[in-house]
Structure 1
Amino acid sequence: MSDRHVTTDDSWAPDACTLPTRDRPLRLAEFDQFFRDAVQGVDRLSAQHLRLRLAGAGQVEETARDLTARESSCCSFFAFDISPDSLTLDVRVPAAHVDVLDALAERATSVRSQK
């Protein structure tokens, strides 16, 4: 992910991720679709905190809740908070996983720019 273009590999997935390797490309594709369809903006509030501004369309909140719940079950270091009032998705990680948040922010920005 360091070359600033979107790839389909999971080389940035941390060892702490328990999602089976064979399922990672599918999850990555789901996140890419979410970034393309639902994310209007990406704001880095701190090294450990990323905010995604979401589109106000129909099932965006439901999709975000489903995707983040499944991601939390295999990567428990993520803390996701969805605010339906402001339609934002806050993503927080402990200091040991800032590099993963960096990769997520870079991917969201890269995928959005390919619209």
Structure 2
Amino acid sequence: MSGHHITTDDAWVPEACTLPTAERPLRLAEFDQFIAEAVRGLDRLSAQHLRLYLDGGTQVEETTRDLAARESSCCSFFTFDLSRPDGNSLSLDVRVPAAHADVLDALAERAASVRGHR
């Protein structure tokens, strides 16, 4: 049996997540808005590593840091690394242990889907 719960809208929530159930749809909506507004591209570098290319604005950097910190606090298996390769762009590396590669799969699929609908 999988250690993850998939909802009817294809949202992913690992059992290890400590975010209260009532707050999960709000966090998912935050991720969708973040992806739609800030993500400019993505690369799946390995089964355990996803890179998101972001708009380089200051507000995007602040939002990304906040969202990553809050997500790490409830899903501690995520590792987020935000960097600024140049003055106009940001990249967010998202890594997970092998046991949670399916969660990263779902995040990558969601990001591609949300980006495709904008």
Name the structure 2 match of 1:93.
Answer: 96
Name the structure 2 match of 1:60.
Answer: 60
**C-alpha contact (below 8 Å) 1:39/1:53 kept by paired residues:** yes
Higher strand share: 2
TM-score normalised by length of structure 1: 0.89
Q: What is the RMSD of the two structures over their aligned residues, measured on CA atoms?
A: 1.4
Name the structure 1 match of 2:4.
Answer: none
1:56 is displaced (CA, Å) by: 1.9
Matched residue count: 108
Name the structure 2 match of 1:3.
Answer: none
**C-alpha contact (below 8 Å) 1:52/1:90 kept by paired residues:** yes
**C-alpha contact (below 8 Å) 1:44/1:50 kept by paired residues:** yes
Q: Which has the higher contact order (CA 8 A, sep 6+)?
A: 1
1:84 is displaced (CA, Å) by: 2.3
Paired with 2:85 and 2:34, the residues of 1 have a C-alpha distance of 19
- Write out per-residue CA displacement over residues 81-103 of structure 1, whole angstroms, 9 at most, x where no aligned residue: 00023510000000000000000
Paired with 2:81 and 2:57, the residues of 1 have a C-alpha distance of 18
Runs (4+) of structure 1 exceeding 2 A deviation are none
Which structure 2 segments of 5+ residues have no match? 1-7
Say whether residues 1:15 and 2:18 are aligned partners: no
Paired with 2:71 and 2:21, the residues of 1 have a C-alpha distance of 14
Paired with 1:15 and 1:91, the residues of 2 have a C-alpha distance of 19
**C-alpha contact (below 8 Å) 1:49/1:92 kept by paired residues:** yes
1:57 is displaced (CA, Å) by: 2.6
Which structure 1 segments of 5+ residues have no match? 1-5
The percent identity for this pair of structures is 73
